[in-house]
């Protein structure tokens, strides 16, 4: 059973236990001269914690590339990301564990006071989330994401 499932089960048991006394509580008729409004109050505070050894890790990373044109920025970005993904696969990370979490292309401008903005180029960014299911490979996966590109 996963930690989240265990926590949900504990929460359900605590909620049920809290509701039971309230369901059994009954309001009695007020004695003569007493206020008509009586309330039954139940206060409950609980805390639960589960500790287990981690069985997977998540890495979030991104690549930013700038170029004079949008096409060149996207191509440079794809080249860098493909290199990183290939290194991750070589480190034993499965395709299903590499997910794109963001892709952006933005114009970059230079601003000079009292002049209109001047287009400098474009910035492409690509973010991915990697799930490492074999923690023995975590160091190798992290190393793969930051290894320098081969020189030409």
CATH superfamily of 57-146: Protein of unknown function (DUF541), domain 2 (3.30.70.2970)
Q: What are phi and psi of 105, to 5 degrees?
A: -135, 120
Question: Which residue ranges does the chain devote to CATH 3.30.70.2970?
Answer: 57-146
Q: Give the closest residue to 103 by CA, choosing from 69, 127, 123, 81.
A: 127
Residue 10 main-chain phi, psi, to 5 deg: -65, -40
From residue 129, alpha-carbon distances to 32, 38, 126 in Å are 69, 56, 10
For the full predicted model, state whether its pTM sits above 0.95.
no
Residue pLDDT tens, the chain, 152 long: 454 444 444 444 444 444 444 444 445 555 565 556 666 777 778 888 888 888 899 999 999 999 999 999 999 999 999 999 999 998 889 999 999 999 999 999 999 999 999 999 999 999 999 999 988 888 888 888 887 666 55
Which DSSP letter does residue 114 get? T
């Amino acid at each position: 059973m996963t930690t989240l499932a265990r926590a949900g089960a504990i929460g359900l048991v605590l909620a049920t236990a809290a509701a039971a006394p309230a369901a059994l509580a009954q309001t009695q008729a007020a004695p003569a001269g007493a206020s008509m409004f009586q309330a039954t109050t139940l206060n409950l505070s609980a805390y639960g914690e589960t500790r287990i050894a981690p069985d997977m890790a998540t890495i979030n990373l991104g690549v930013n590339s700038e170029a004079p044109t949008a096409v060149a920025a996207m191509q440079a970005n794809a080249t860098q990301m493909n290199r990183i993904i290939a290194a991750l696969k070589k480190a034993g990370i499965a395709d299903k564990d590499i997910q794109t979490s963001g892709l952006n292309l933005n114009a970059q401008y230079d601003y000079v006071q009292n002049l209109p903005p001047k287009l400098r180029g474009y910035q492409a960014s690509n973010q991915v989330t990697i799930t490492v299911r074999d923690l023995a490979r975590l160091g190798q996966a992290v190393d793969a994401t930051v290894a320098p590109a081969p020189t030409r």
